[in-house]
Chain A
Amino acid sequence: MTAIEPATLRSAAPSVWTRLRRRKLALIGLALIVLTFFGAIFAPWLTPYEPNNQMFDGLTLQGAPMPPGAQFPLGTDLLGRDLLTRILYGARTSLIIGLVANGVALVIGTLIGITAGYFRGFVGSVLMRLTDLMMAFPALLLAICLAAIFQPSLWIVALVIATVNWVQTARVIYTETSSLSQREFIAAEKTLGAGHLRILFRHILPHLVPMIIVWGTLGISTTVLLEATLSYLGVGVQPPTPSWGNIIFENQTYFQAAPWLVFFPGLAIVILALAFNLVGDALRDVLDPTQRGQDQ
């Protein structure tokens, strides 16, 4: 027994990593995520410009923004600011929104969904009616109200987004949990004397991981765009602080004249969402024991 003990201890953790490593798409996704973080953190060293610096030579003689070129690789915006610089700095905001706000929403949604789905009865009804209420209430209106009450800052915006974005997750998790609770292995756990917390977190939660991953990756793009909507309405991140969403919104009216202003930040959002999607997909397969041995 003692001889095989280190082996069994080792087998679980690295095997997920080694199996993840074998998937090319997951590695690409991971690389893109790392790249985004790198760009956000090292933005000041990566670009010679300031994000809010309105440069004279950033505009043409007619006052139009510059298309991508040698001096400004991704062009400039209406105020003569370097777009690449703004996208790099904007990544800071968008990552916080996409990860923190979305993550908090996911945690709230999962906790509410799992509790309501497992206990049902009175607790379940109250929680799910609350969810329905939130769902019926226009999310944007709620976000505007909340943002108006608090002084808008990045963290407040993240919190606001989290409070409106957990509902769909809660609904889906609720449905799945209530069907899982009826499964026989849960009854088997109960006859073994397992408590509610153990059943919820050790037996039901692992089965919800694929669903949480899917909703988590979907949430990244929706939250990034919701942040953009909020800042467009003046209750989000305050200009001139760049975020991917507000770069798009600031410039969308000039889409025909200066398409790069919408295209590049949009591309950044798509790439980030795609990267998380690729990693999430791979993670879901790797964490599922029934898929073991099928991923060569």
Chain B
Amino acid sequence: MTAALQTSPAAYTAGDTPVLTVDNLSISVRTEQGMVPLVQNLSFTLHKGRTLAIAGESGSGKSLTSLAIMGLLPPPAVRVTGGAIHFDGQELTALSESKLKSLRGNRIAMIFQEPMTALNPVMRIGSQLIEAIRAHENVSKAEARTRALEAVRAVRLTEPERRLQQYPHELSGGMRQRVVIAMAIALRPDILIADEPTTALDVTVQREVLDLLRDLARDMNTALILITHDMGVVAEMADDVLVMQRGQMVEQAAVRKLFTNPDQPYTRQLLAAVPRMGQGHGTHPAKNVEPLVTLREARVAYDLHGGLLGRVVQRVHAVESVSFDIYQGETFALVGESGCGKSTIARALAGLVPHTGEIRFQGKPLGNDAASRKQVSRNLQMVFQDPMAALNGRMTAGDLVREPLVIHGIGTAESRREKAAELFRRVGLGEDALDRYPHEFSGGQRQRICIARALALEPRLIIADESVSALDVSVQATVLDLLAELKHEMSMSYLFISHDMAVVENVADRVAVMYLGQIVEMGTGAQVFGDPRHSYTRRLIEAVPHADPDRTLPARVLAASDPPSPVRAVGDPPKTVKLVDVGAGHLVAE
């Protein structure tokens, strides 16, 4: 397969020796049934200054490969059972732990997905950086501090001196990830392994971090291994791509070749499943129809108590004066980044958090009490982001789907069983699945169980709160198809909440863009995606990585500074933005 690399147009010069060579690597886990292979016969080479993306869906073994290079496979069950990893004349799989330790962080550094867990929450950023530097290099504290400051500057954090004095929780997610990157580059490693470095980040922050990684890899001539499930990120970042599936390499090629002319059917399938941004679609509903859901100046605020007497000291304005309607049979999407209040609206609508202002469902105002919640639940159901978390693991799938019928006292035991079987058929699960437990299903199947449960009461509206975000792209596509079918068959309405602009563009009839608890732009999909007016909407759309290596990248945002916060002092509510009609019902904040 290395032959493919050498024949690619972007091939390196002949004299350049690889910095890392992985040769026939196999990783297995010891179970009661014997050794089960997790990665089989994987080979690749990595060259200085180049970026190799290892792409694949969950369970493909891409993260295990990176852990094997770092010598961090979870002992004793998982281990390398074959092949070799050559780095700088050394065979890594045969190296002792103490030798590996001196390489780790120093010569080979790693960036993890979740920056909060990678940082020690009770240590200042500066101390952590200095400790990391002094663990590998025999330098004085003052010198290490200078180096730390340099690294923080290199990742373009504003006010670097102050950052060193801060604790991880004082920083935003994107800034934390920059600190993790600063830690990784502080020792100028030869190889930087980034395991899903932007998956936990918002799309605009992802854009910044990707730009930063690309610049750093180029400036420092570091070899970068980027592990990701996102083909958009692959297209923008990689020089070479290795596609993995179920522990085996499917295809390895230069990035342009892979995207334009993939050899393997799996690669083609993977690329086809990636949602692509278009110009949007959808129309405004007829004016004389009664809306299903009406929000008028709905607000959700949480009080933060403090001081000796527990007085309200600050208030989180999660949702601030939001108004919109959802009509029968349409998909209304709320997009925005984390903390913008989109999920809070869903929770208020489902009666999970108390609200002020007006929320009407089928013409009736929604109260904050349990009785009204139960009544509304007949016609309004919710599908959550993580199906494993949203299903009670101690109940069978059949019991879970029958649960709403039991709660509302609908039918007999017999009719409920039939209904559950019918729902399972409808969402594409076999009847034999009824007696199985949630952990025996795959992620996509679990989300189907959640959808079947939501459908049991034959609701008018389903709130899909990031319902496909945790799924692999191919699975995501099938779940979205299922939702679309249900919409046509049952004239279902959806409140579709997502941070993923491409998915929203594909499914939404009408879209509202949220920022800091308020709607800043609202219109049909065609209006918002085809003609974005608000600067924030534009930024969101531009930041989406495209699965097209030839696309020119948008201008970069250089420095990361403190993001605005919805937490405000009592008596200082945020200014409500005014939406103006810029034509044909396209509302934009002034």
Contact = CB atoms under 8 A, between A and B. Distances in A.
B389 A190 contact: no
B204 interface: no
A18 interface: no
Given A185-B390, A207-B394, A289 B437 contact: yes
Given A11-B435, A189-B403, A184 B408 contact: no
B291 interface: no
Nearest to B378: A193
Interface string B125-156: 00000000000000000000000000000000
Interface stretch (B259-267, B413-421, B484-492): B413-421
A201 to B, nearest CB: 13
B437 A192 contact: no
B37 to A, nearest CB: 20
Contacts of A294: 32
B453 interface: yes
Contact of B417 (A5, A189, A192, A292): A5
A85 B374 CA distance: 61
A292 B389 contact: no
A194 B439 CA distance: 23
A191 B382 contact: yes
A187 B352 contact: yes
B381 A290 contact: no
B588 interface: no
A288 B385 CA distance: 24
A146 to B, nearest CB: 36
A289 B439 contact: yes
Interface string B462-486: 0000000000000000000000000
Which residue among A192, A195, A196, A198 has the maximum number of chain B CB atoms within 10 Å of its CB? A192
B264 to A, nearest CB: 34
Given A1-B414, A198-B407, A184 B393 contact: no
Contacts of A188: 382, 384, 390-391, 450, 453
A120 interface: no
Contacts of B421: 1
B390 A290 contact: no
A129 interface: no
Contacts of A2: 414
B377 interface: yes
Contact of B390 (A11, A184, A292): A184
A1 B407 contact: no
Contacts, number: 81
B351 interface: yes
Interface residues of B, number: 39
B404 interface: yes
Interface residues of A, number: 27
A268 to B, nearest CB: 36
B403 A290 contact: no
B370 A195 contact: yes
Contact of A289 (B393, B408, B457): B393
A1 B352 CA distance: 36
Contacts of A198: 407
A195 B408 CA distance: 10
A232 to B, nearest CB: 43
Interface string B361-404: 00000000010011111101110111001111110100000011
Interface in B416-452: 417-418, 421, 435, 437, 439, 450
Interface string B45-88: 00000000000000000000000000000000000000000000
A290 B382 CA distance: 25
Given A1-B417, A289-B394, A192 B377 contact: yes
B350 interface: yes
Contacts of B453: 188, 192
Nearest to A290: B439
Contacts of B435: 8, 11
Interface in A160-203: 183-185, 187-196, 198, 203
Contact of A190 (B352, B385, B386, B418): B352
Given A1-B414, A1-B421, A292-B437, A194 B407 contact: yes
A84 B13 CA distance: 89
A197 to B, nearest CB: 11
A5 B415 CA distance: 12
A192 B381 contact: yes
A206 interface: yes
Nearest to B381: A191
Contacts of B378: 193
Contacts of B376: 193
A290 B437 CA distance: 8
Contacts of A194: 403, 407
Contact of B377 (A8, A185, A193): A193
Contacts of A8: 435
Contacts of A192: 377, 381, 403-404, 407, 453, 457
Given A188-B384, A191-B381, A183 B389 contact: yes
Interface string A84-97: 00000000000000
A203 B392 contact: yes
A191 B377 contact: yes
Contacts of B351: 190-191
Interface string A68-98: 0000000000000000000000000000000
Nearest to A8: B435
Given A190-B373, A193-B408, A290-B437, A184 B403 contact: no
A217 B382 CA distance: 40
A5 B435 CA distance: 11
B352 A191 contact: yes
A238 B435 CA distance: 54
B452 to A, nearest CB: 12
Contacts of A183: 389
B446 to A, nearest CB: 11
A196 B453 CA distance: 19
A89 B396 CA distance: 46
B550 to A, nearest CB: 41
Contacts of B374: 193, 195
A123 to B, nearest CB: 15
A196 B374 CA distance: 11
Contacts of A1: 414, 417-418, 421
Contact of B394 (A191, A195, A206): A206
A190 to B, nearest CB: 6
A122 to B, nearest CB: 13
A185 B373 contact: no
Given A184-B384, A189-B403, A198-B407, 7 more contacts: A1-B414, A5-B414, A5-B417, A185-B393, A191-B351, A195-B370, A206-B392
12 contacts: A1-B421, A183-B389, A187-B390, A188-B391, A192-B403, A192-B457, A195-B370, A207-B394, A288-B394, A290-B393, A290-B437, A292-B437
Please list the 3 inter-chain residue pairs (A to B) with the smallest Cβ-Cβ separation, ordered nearest first: A193-B377, A193-B374, A289-B437
